[in-house]
Structure 1
Amino acid sequence: MELDNLDFEGLLENMVPLLLTAVKSILIALLVYFIGKWVINFTLRATDRIFIKYEVEPSLASFLNSFLKGLLYIVLILVVLSTLGVEVTAFIAVLGAAGLAVGLALQGSLANFAGGILILIFKPFKVGDTIEAQGTLGSVEKIAILYTTVRNFDNKVVTIPNGALANNSIVNFSIKPTRRIDMAVGVAYGTDLKKTRQVILDTLKKDERIHGDPAPAVYFTNFGDNSLDLTVRCWANADDLWPVFWDNMEAIKESLEENAIEVPFPQRDVHHFFPEGKPEIKG
């Protein structure tokens, strides 16, 4: 029994320092965890204020905050494990390999993700803008991290990958408040172009939606097959573009007719040659 007591006492003497060391490590790890958690929350609140100050798109701000939160918690967990004496090198290697595998598997999605971030940061267009991109012309309905949704003018919804949008040309019809309107008008050969120009300009002056600066202009642009081709240019607010175009195309036609200015239609003169002489016509 005495030997057993000695062994038990020796075991206790060895275990007490180990337990104290373990308790100390756990307490330090808990302290590190709670301090780290406070730092993470402080950092996230600070980034929220920065996003609000610089008017970052809400969807992008939410995603970046979530991504940053996850990244910071992974770092905190690794630090806590290291404080407890756990070898974290293996964990880091596993995370790196997993990240590489996921990156290779999701190359297209990552390209769309990067494109979405670029679009939300640099804002080449916003929801409600009319754009032309990737063969689609329409109004932007939604900008997500991976895809942008565009509704075209016959009410079809087109989903475009953000990677394609970020790496190709985009025409934004809404970014400027005014737009130039081009109208093509053809008149018959022999028409007095000065009179025609004045008739068209007088017609445009009646529309209050058309801006006086820059002033409307009419240019003779081409000798067409059947007509003398004119280009009519004027400026209006972007929202009035199509109504101004449609209304004035009709108004110009009516003004030309009122002033006896002919708007020609396609026609051909056919000349029949008779190498052996014109045949007699029996009547």
Structure 2
Amino acid sequence: MEQILEQSGWVMPLLIATAKALLVIVVGWMVAGTVSRLVRKRVNANPEIDATLGNFAASIVKWIILLMVLVAVLSLYGIEATSLVAMMGAATLAIGLALQGTLSDLAAGFMLILFRPYKLGQYVDIGGTAGTVKDINLFVTELATPDNVQIIVPNGQAWGSIITNFSHHDTRRVDLVFGIDYEDDAEKAMQIVLDWARADSRVMGDPEPWVRVTNLGGSSVDITSRIWVQAADFWDVKFDMTKGVKEAFDKGGVSIPYPHTVMVQRAG
């Protein structure tokens, strides 16, 4: 009996330490979430600070608190901070090799925040993946596609890819091509497109709308229009102009031909 008690004497301290560790983990996780939200709220409350920085700072604070929680949990099992540092130092090489991708994402996250190739709310294309930036944290960038599908891009891949930012500038150019029949009056068609562009208040006067014949295609004479608008009006103007010019062509007697083939038959 005494031997059994001696062998089981370590069980109770282990259970107590485990219970304390679980309590520390739960409380630490809650504190980390609460503090990170407060940091995000306080930083984003300043209009002079970009919201992207607030989210990134909140992510850093959360991970620092969780690291402190890890140290506290290990200390409950008798592992002192100095011993922990020594263990981490010995395991640095192994961890670095095992987490090359994660460490790369972490470093890339700092580079993204430092150079700001994109910010929250902007529509971007990252290496062929397009969407609106919803979040940037230490390890990943979260995008949402136009049909509201979530896409997670590791920061390492984002930093190493070609980034196209459609929202960086305040203005954008709308390019549209209209094909007319070879027998139609090109000058008349160009004037219809130009009049439509000038009549829309969303179209900028500087630079002025540009309309030219740009190609003689196999079935049509191609007229290209280039107009400048505010970035927020890009898609609305593009769709409205496509519909409006089609209706104006119908009223003005300008036809949009279908692709066709002319057959030539020679006698004999």
- The alignment's TM-score, normalised by the length of structure 1, stands at 0.66
Stretch of structure 1 that moved more, 132-141 or 100-109: 132-141
Query: What residue in structure 1 maps to residue 218 of structure 2?
Result: 225
One-letter amino acid of the structure 1 residue matched with residue 204 of structure 2: H
Secondary structure class of the residue paired with 2:177: strand
Mapped contact 2:171–2:228 kept (Cα < 8 A): yes
Shift of the 247–67 alpha-carbon distance from structure 1 to 2, 3 Å rule, reads closer
Q: Distance in 2 between matches of 1:67 and 1:138?
A: 27
Q: Do residues 163 (structure 1) and 156 (structure 2) align? A: yes
Which residues in structure 2 correspond to 1:109-258 (within 5 Å)? 109-258=102-251
Residue 56 of structure 2, aligned match among 51, 60, 71? 60
Query: Residue by residue, what CA displacement relative to the aligned partner does 1:255-279 show, whole Å, maximum 9, x if unpaired?
Result: 11211112111011123456xx4xx
Secondary structure class of the residue paired with 1:110: helix
One-letter amino acid of the structure 2 residue matched with residue 60 of structure 1: F
Mapped contact 2:60–2:138 kept (Cα < 8 A): no
Secondary structure class of the residue paired with 2:151: strand
Shift of the 63–262 alpha-carbon distance from structure 1 to 2, 3 Å rule, reads closer
Q: Distance in 2 between matches of 1:91 and 1:110?
A: 20
Q: Distance in 2 between matches of 1:250 and 1:59?
A: 41
Q: Distance in 1 between matches of 2:236 and 2:257?
A: 25
1:236: Cα distance to partner?
Answer: 0.8
Query: Residue by residue, what CA displacement relative to the aligned partner does 1:231-269 show, whole Å, maximum 9, x if unpaired?
Result: 111011111111100011111111112111121110111
Q: Distance in 1 between matches of 2:252 and 2:62?
A: 69
One-letter amino acid of the structure 1 residue matched with residue 56 of structure 2: L
Mapped contact 2:56–2:136 kept (Cα < 8 A): no
1:92: Cα distance to partner?
Answer: 6.5
Q: Distance in 1 between matches of 2:146 and 2:240?
A: 19
1:205: Cα distance to partner?
Answer: 1.4
One-letter amino acid of the structure 2 residue matched with residue 117 of structure 1: F
Q: Point out where structure 2 has 5 or more consecutive residues left out of the alignment.
A: 1-38, 72-81
Secondary structure class of the residue paired with 1:185: strand
Which residues in structure 2 correspond to 1:87-126 (within 5 Å)? 94-126=87-119
Secondary structure class of the residue paired with 1:175: coil
One-letter amino acid of the structure 2 residue matched with residue 112 of structure 1: D
Q: Distance in 2 between matches of 1:63 and 1:242?
A: 34
Q: Distance in 1 between matches of 2:141 and 2:61?
A: 21
Query: Residue by residue, what CA displacement relative to the aligned partner does 1:181-237 show, whole Å, maximum 9, x if unpaired?
Result: 011111111332222211111111111111111111112111111011111110111
Q: State the number of aligned residues.
A: 210
Over the matched positions of the two proteins, sequence identity in percent amounts to: 34
Query: Residue by residue, what CA displacement relative to the aligned partner does 1:105-150 show, whole Å, maximum 9, x if unpaired?
Result: 0001111111111112222111111011122222111112111111
One-letter amino acid of the structure 1 residue matched with residue 167 of structure 2: S
